[in-house]
Amino acid sequence: MKKTNRQLVVGSLQPFLFCVGMYFVVLIFSVFICTSIYKAFHFKKPDVAMEKTGKPINTGGTAAMVAVIK
């Protein structure tokens, strides 16, 4: 059975469309991955100890650490 001209055009575009689709998928995921890596290295440590009392709490012991974590 001989393929029509339309089938040949769609068949020849399939690898190109696959590459374009994969490019956009990788681009979107790389934005999420790079953003999460950037936020992991440039985090702003919240000042939880001064949140409620207004005075810093000594967080040297393990009991104080359990009290500070929400």
What pLDDT shows up at residue 29?
93
CA distances from 7 to 15, 17, 18, 19, 20 (A): 14, 15, 17, 19, 20
More confident residue, 70 or 31: 31
What pLDDT shows up at residue 47?
56
DSSP character string of 1-51: -PPPHHHHHHHHHHHHHHHHHHHHHHHHHHHHHHHHHHHHHS------TTS
Task: Determine the structural domain holding residue 34 and report its residue range.
Answer: 5-68
pLDDT, one tens digit per residue, over 11-37 is 888 999 999 999 999 999 999 999 999
pTM of the predicted structure, to 2 decimals? 0.47
Q: Please give the tally of structural domains in the chain.
A: 1
- Spatial separation of the C-alpha atoms in residues 53 and 70, rounded to whole Å: 15
Query: Residue 51 above 70 pLDDT?
Result: no
